[in-house]
Amino acid sequence: MKKLITVLSIIALTACALSLVGCKDYKIRKDWSLTSYVDKEGFLGVEGYEIEKCTAYTEKKLVVPGEYEGKPIVNVNASFPYVHSKSITFSEGIRSIYYLALRENVSHISLPNSLLYFNAYSIENLPNLTYNVKNGVKYLGNKKNPYVYAAGLADETVTDVVLEEGCTAIGSFSGTNIETFTCSSGVEIIPDACFVGCDNLTTVTFGDKTRWVAADAFAGCTNLVEVNGLSQIKYIGYCAFSDCRSLASIALDSAQTILEAAFSGCTSLTEVEVPHTVTEFDTGVFGCCTALKTVRFNATVSVLPEGTFYMVQLKELVLGNAVLEIGKDVLRGSSSTLEKLKLSDAMTTLPAHAFSGYSALKEVNLPASLTAIPHGCFSGCSALAEITLPSRIETIG
C-alpha cells in the first residue's frame, strides 16, 4: 500500500509539472515531455530518436537541446551514464528536470532561466557538483508560473523561503540550507521527501489549504522545532516526520490517516493526544520517541497496532473506547516506567502476560466489560497496591 501511495504521489507531481506550466505560443502536449540520454556510441537522443552525434568523450561541455523537430523539450528525465564531459548545459526552454543520472566526473551543470522545477534530490550524491542559479532567488513561484523549483536554493545565503500567492505545487527542497519555509495558501500537498536533508530547517508554516504531508516529507530534519498548521493536516504519510528530534509538540486535531513510523524517533516529544478523527493508524507511529511520557489515544481504530510505542518509556497511557485489542510489542520498553494505565471500556479480553513485569505500574482501570484476566497478565507488578475487579470477571488465570 505504501509503495502504491508513493508511486501515485510521483505520478501526481509529474502531472502537476506538465499541467501547470504555461506558454503564450503553444499548448504543452504529452509527446513534448521527452527523455534525453547519451548512449554507449556517443549519440545524444530523445525518446530513442538520434539528434546528433555528440563528442561526449572528448568535449569538456555537453549541451542538452531545448527542442526536437521544431517541438520544445519541456520536461527532461536525463540519464547520462556514459558522459565523460565535466560540464552539462540544459538549454533555454526546458522547464522541468525531474531526474538526473550523472557520472561522478560531472562537476558542473548549467540550468536555464526557463526552469520551473529541478529535483535537487537526484544529485545529492555528487558532493562536488556545482550549478548556476537565478541571482537573488528567495521567493519562488507566482501566478504565471505556479510550479515552484528549488534550484535557486543552492545559494547558501538563501535561508528563508516564502512561496508567493498563486503557487499551487512545490518541488524538492532536499539538501538545501533553508531555515524557514512558508507555504502559499494554494499548496495542498507536501510531496514525498520534499525536505529530506534540510538540516537547518527550524520552522515550517503550512498554507490554508495544505492537508496532505506525504512519505518522508520532513524525515531527518533534526532541527525542526515548529510546524505551524499541523492541526489542519488530514493525511500524514509514512515516516513523514521521522527523526525530527527537536520537535517537542504536535497537534493532530484534524488527522484522519497516520501511516507507519510517521513520528518515529521524535525524541523531544513528551505528550501526545491522538484524536477520534483518526480512522487509519499504522504500526510504529511513535516508536523510539524516547522522551514520550503521556499518551491519550482516542483514535477510532479497534486495534492499537504493533510497535506503536516501541522502546518508549511511557508513564501514562489512556485508551479510548474504540480500542478492543492491543497489538504485539505495543509497550515494549515501558515495563519499568509505566505508572498509570486506563484501558478501553469496550475491551473484553487481554492477552496473556500483557503487563507482566511492569514494576512501576501503580494504577490500572480495568474495563467494566472485561470477563477474564489471563495467565500472567499482571505478574511482577510489584508497585500495584490496589486493583478493582469488574463485576463481569469470570476467570483469573
What is the C-alpha separation between 226 and 206, in angstroms, rounded? 11
pLDDT reported for residue 106: 76
Asked if 297 contacts 320 with a C-beta cutoff of 8 angstroms, the reply is yes
SS3 13: helix
pLDDT reported for residue 121: 53
Residues forming beta bridges with residue 212, ordered by sequence position: 189, 235
Identity of residue 383: A
Asked if 327 contacts 349 with a C-beta cutoff of 8 angstroms, the reply is no
List pLDDT tens digits, range 55-96.
444 455 677 777 766 666 666 766 666 566 777 787 887 766
Is the alpha carbon torsion for 74, 78, 84, 89 positive or negative? Answer: positive
pLDDT reported for residue 30: 30
A 10 A CB-CB count for 396 gives 11
SS3 178: coil
What is the C-alpha separation between 223 and 58, in angstroms, rounded? 45
List the Cα angle 359/386/374 in 5-degree steps: 70
- Give the rounded distance of the alpha carbon of 120 from its chain centre: 16
pLDDT reported for residue 109: 78
- CA distances from residue 151 to 198, 328, 387 in whole angstroms, order as listed: 14, 45, 62
Asked if 52 contacts 79 with a C-beta cutoff of 8 angstroms, the reply is no
What is the C-alpha separation between 338 and 241, in angstroms, rounded? 25
pLDDT reported for residue 160: 79
Residues forming beta bridges with residue 190, ordered by sequence position: 213
- CA distances from residue 114 to 130, 186, 313 in whole angstroms, order as listed: 19, 22, 52
For the chain, the residue count is: 397
pLDDT reported for residue 2: 41
> Which residues of the chain have a pLDDT value below 50?
1-58, 133-147, 149-155
pLDDT reported for residue 78: 65
Is 0.95 surpassed by the pTM of this model?
Answer: no
- For the record, the C-alpha cell of 366 comes out as 480495568
- CA distances from residue 327 to 283, 304, 336, 391 in whole angstroms, order as listed: 9, 6, 19, 26
pLDDT reported for residue 186: 79
